[in-house]
Structure 1
């Protein structure tokens, strides 16, 4: 193989290529992702230092779209791919429980790349759909049943602990008799395998001089917490519905 061909490969022309193929593209928070990384050798033999896989989230903050790597996975050790050789690397990784759901317009994708010395690193992006953890889904459904409508899914960047720069929040507006007492509630989750901690932030409506003053001073919010596990919803969500309804009403009046 000529020096010219090797030089082209170093610039990405005739370089090895990578293609990630997922067994499926829809997952719930905490589920496993299975797939294969297909590597097609180029015009020259190339040493692959590693195959990396990044879980990437695109989110909006202060009108700017930002790319954030939630997790990084290394899939292989050093190996050499021969000219035109095909290599297949299977993998199984777990989607973190705190991966944002994509329903609210928050793109999540896997970025795969080959680390090749003295060459342009080829990569491949694969979008995935992330659905809520089953307990999160049940809590969101219960909140709607007690008289609220989901109007927006966004991110909170301050005041709540997270290993990431953000935590996803679900914003609800009251549709029933609480419309005169609440502007909205914001709901956030800390998710485990069989239990979730629910954060409910109540934004009370100004109804008199005192509550108007509280609103001006941003003292009109109440933060509530409760834990929900699998036993709480076994056989139905009626008990959980009553628990959440009572909790909200107790702190509104």
Structure 2
């Protein structure tokens, strides 16, 4: 192959191309992603230093959109691909349990790329849908049963420990007897394989001089924590429903 072709490949013209094909596009937090990376050789032989796969989250903060790499996976060692040659690299990766659910308007995607020395690196992006962990889903359903309606899914950027710049929060409005007591209920999760730590922040409504003063000084919030295990729900959610209802009632007043 001519030096001219090699020069073009270094600029991305006639370069190798990459295409990731996933077995499915919908996963739960902590789920296993299976797929294959197809690499199509270009006009010249090229050495691929690595195939990388990024788990990327797009979020908005301070009136700007941010692209955050949540996890990075390396899928191969150095190899060479010849002109027009096709290579298929199968892979399995585990999603982090704290991957944000995408139903809140938070795009999540996988970005696959080839690291090629002295050349423009080709890449490919694939959007994926993230559903709540099954325990998270059950807790959210219980919160609705005790008199709340989910109104928004957003991010909290302060006051809670996270290995990322944010933690996802689920915002509820009271629909029952607590409408005159609470403005909203915010629920967050630290998620493990078989248990979740639930953090509920109660935003109390100002009803008199004292609570108005607390609201002005931002002292009107109450934080409640509880751990929910897979074994706790083996017989249904009735016990959890009572526990969450009692905790909310206790700290709302």
Partner of 1:157: 157
Distance of 1:99 and 1:79 partners within structure 2: 31
Instruction: Give the length in aligned residue pairs.
Output: 253
Distance of 1:7 and 1:115 partners within structure 2: 17
- Measured against aligned partners, the alpha-carbon deviations of 1:204-244 in whole angstroms (never above 9, x if no partner) come to 00000000000000000000000000121112111100000
1:80-159 aligned within 5 A: 80-159=80-159
Q: TM-score, normalised by structure 2?
A: 0.99
Partner of 1:205: 205
1:57-96 aligned within 5 A: 57-96=57-96
Runs (5+) with no aligned partner, structure 2: none
Partner of 1:30: 30
Distance of 2:97 and 2:118 partners within structure 1: 37
- Measured against aligned partners, the alpha-carbon deviations of 1:37-94 in whole angstroms (never above 9, x if no partner) come to 0000000000000000000000010111100000000000000000000000000000
Distance of 1:224 and 1:207 partners within structure 2: 21
Partner of 1:18: 18
Partner of 2:51: 51
Distance of 1:178 and 1:203 partners within structure 2: 11
Displacement after TM superposition at 1:194 (Å): 0.3
- Measured against aligned partners, the alpha-carbon deviations of 1:132-170 in whole angstroms (never above 9, x if no partner) come to 000000000000000000000000000000000000000
Distance of 1:78 and 1:147 partners within structure 2: 57
SS of equivalent residue, structure 1 residue 113:
strand
- Measured against aligned partners, the alpha-carbon deviations of 1:158-198 in whole angstroms (never above 9, x if no partner) come to 00000000000000000001000000010000000000000
Query: Is 1:214 matched up with 2:214?
Result: yes
SS of equivalent residue, structure 2 residue 105:
coil
C-alpha RMSD of the superposition = 0.4
Moved over 2 A (4+): none
Distance of 1:63 and 1:149 partners within structure 2: 27
SS of equivalent residue, structure 1 residue 178:
helix
Distance of 1:198 and 1:118 partners within structure 2: 49
Runs (5+) with no aligned partner, structure 1: none
SS of equivalent residue, structure 1 residue 43:
coil
Partner of 2:241: 241
Displacement after TM superposition at 1:3 (Å): 1.1
Partner of 2:228: 228
Partner of 2:187: 187
Q: TM-score, normalised by structure 1?
A: 0.99
SS of equivalent residue, structure 1 residue 13:
coil
Distance of 1:235 and 1:82 partners within structure 2: 58
Displacement after TM superposition at 1:19 (Å): 0.1
